[in-house]
C-alpha cells in the first residue's frame, strides 16, 4: 500500500491510536503516555524508526476521549513529536473532535485544546462527523449547519491553512422507533444506501438544512430510516473548503468506494500531488 501511495505521489501517514485490548480507545493509555517523559521518548524514537523503515511521510495522532486533566500534557506531547519529526522531514497531523466552543463539555471534547494543538502540529484533521452515529437517534452523519458551527469556532483558534475538514464516507440505517440505549444503527456505504432505496422502491429525499439525503423503508414489519452521503452533500462540504480558506479535506474512511467523491474533487480542485514531505496546498488545491 505504501509503495502504491508513492507510485501515485500520495503521502502515506502512520496513524497513532491508543487502543486497549478490547479494540476501543483507552484514555488510561493516554494518561500513561503523556505523563511519562521516558515513555514519550521511547515512543517517538520507535515512531521515527517505523516511518523511516516503512516509507511513511509522517504521523497522524488520533487520540480520543482524552481526560480533561491530561489536556495540556497531550498538547505538549504532540508538540514534542512534531519538533522531532520535522527535523527529519516528516509531518505530524492531529485528529480533533468536532468542538463548537472552547469550554465545550463532554469527555470527547474537554481534553482537546484547539489552539494549543493547532500550534503543536503541522496540520489538524477536524472530525466533522458522527452527529448521526451507531447508538444515537436518526439524523445526518455530518449536517452542514453543524459542520459550519465547528469551522466557525475552529478558525478562532487555528489558521485555516492548517485545517483539514474531515468528511464521512458512509451512512447509517436505523430501525424505528428509536429507543435510547437499545436501538443500534447499521453502518452502510453510500452506494449501498442508494441500491437499498431502489430495491424497496422508495424516494430519496434531501434535507436542505443538513444538506444530506435520507429515506425510509419497511422491512419485515419494521420501518427504517437511512441517512447517507451523495454528490449533493459532498459538494456542499467541499464548498466549505473554499469558503473558509481551509488547507483541504479528507475522508473517514476509504474502505467504502464512492467514486463520485473523487470526481467532485477533481472537478472543483487542483489536486496537489506530492511525493515529498514539503508540499503545501494553495489556491483551490487539495492534498492528494
Report whether 162 contacts 123 (CB < 8 A).
yes
The C-alpha cell at 238 is 467541499
Write out the chain's pLDDT in tens, 288 residues. 888 888 888 889 999 999 888 888 888 999 999 999 999 999 999 999 999 999 999 999 999 999 999 999 999 999 999 999 999 999 999 999 999 999 999 999 999 999 999 999 999 999 999 999 999 999 999 999 999 999 999 999 999 999 999 999 999 999 999 999 999 999 999 999 999 999 999 999 999 999 999 999 999 999 999 999 999 999 999 999 999 999 999 888 877 888 888 888 888 887 776 644 433 333 333 444
- Measured between alpha carbons, how far apart are the two ends of the chain, in Å? 15
> What is the pLDDT at residue 32?
95
**pTM, entire model:** 0.90
DSSP-derived secondary structure letter, 220: T
Closest by Cα among 94, 38, 40 to 64: 94
Q: What whole-number distance in Å separates Cα of residue 193 and Cα of residue 208?
A: 19
| Residues 6 or more apart whose Cβ sits within 8 Å of residue 115 | 102, 157, 158
Sign of the torsion formed by the C-alpha atoms of 236, 240, 241 and 243 = positive
> What is the pLDDT at residue 184?
97
DSSP-derived secondary structure letter, 257: -
Q: What whole-number distance in Å separates Cα of residue 264 and Cα of residue 234?
A: 8
All structural domains of the chain, each given as residue ranges with its CATH number in brackets, are: 2-170+230-287 (3.20.20.80)
Could you give the residue ranges of the DSSP H alpha helices within the chain? 2-7, 27-34, 37-54, 71-87, 114-120, 144-157, 190-200, 231-244, 259-268
- According to DSSP, the β-strands at 222-227 and 212-219 are antiparallel
Q: Which residues are catalytic?
A: 64
Residue matched to cell numbers 458512509? 170
Model pLDDT for residues 199-220, shown as the tens digit of each residue? 999 999 999 999 999 999 999 9
Amino acid at each position: 500500500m505504501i509503495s502504491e501511495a508513492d507510485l501515485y505521489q500520495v503521502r502515506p501517514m502512520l496513524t497513532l491510536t491508543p487502543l486497549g485490548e478490547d479494540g476501543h480507545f483507552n484514555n488510561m493509555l493516554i494518561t500513561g503516555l503523556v505523563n511519562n517523559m521516558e515513555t514519550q521518548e521511547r515512543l517517538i524514537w520507535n515512531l521515527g524508526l517505523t516511518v523511516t523503515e516503512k516509507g511513511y511521510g509522517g504521523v497522524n495522532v488520533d487520540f480520543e476521549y482524552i481526560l480533561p486533566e491530561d489536556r495540556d500534557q497531550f498538547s505538549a506531547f504532540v508538540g514534542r513529536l512534531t519538533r522531532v519529526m520535522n527535523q527529519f522531514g516528516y509531518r505530524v497531523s492531529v485528529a480533533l473532535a468536532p468542538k463548537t466552543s472552547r469550554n465545550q463539555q463532554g469527555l470527547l471534547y474537554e481534553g482537546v485544546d484547539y489552539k494549543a494543538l493547532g500550534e503543536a502540529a503541522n496540520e489538524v484533521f477536524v472530525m466533522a462527523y458522527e452527529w448521526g452515529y451507531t447508538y444515537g437517534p436518526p439524523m445526518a452523519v455530518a449536517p452542514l449547519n453543524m459542520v459550519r458551527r465547528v469551522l466557525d469556532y475552529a478558525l478562532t483558534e487555528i489558521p485555516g491553512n492548517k485545517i483539514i475538514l474531515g468528511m464521512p464516507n458512509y451512512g447509517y440505517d436505523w430501525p424505528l422507533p428509536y429507543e435510547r440505549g437499545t436501538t443500534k444503527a447499521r453502518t452502510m456505504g453510500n452506494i449501498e444506501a442508494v441500491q437499498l432505496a431502489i430495491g424497496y422502491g422508495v424516494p430519496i429525499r434531501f434535507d436542505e438544512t443538513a444538506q444530506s439525503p435520507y429515506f425510509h423503508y419497511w422491512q419485515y414489519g419494521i420501518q427504517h430510516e437511512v441517512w447517507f452521503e451523495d454528490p449533493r452533500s459532498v459538494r456542499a462540504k467541499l464548498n466549505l473548503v473554499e469558503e473558509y480558506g481551509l488547507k483541504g479535506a479528507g475522508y473517514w474512511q476509504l474502505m467504502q468506494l464512492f467514486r463520485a467523491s473523487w470526481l467532485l474533487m477533481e472537478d472543483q480542485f487542483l489536486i496537489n500531488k506530492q511525493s515529498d514531505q514539503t508540499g503545501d496546498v494553495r489556491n483551490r488545491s487539495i492534498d492528494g
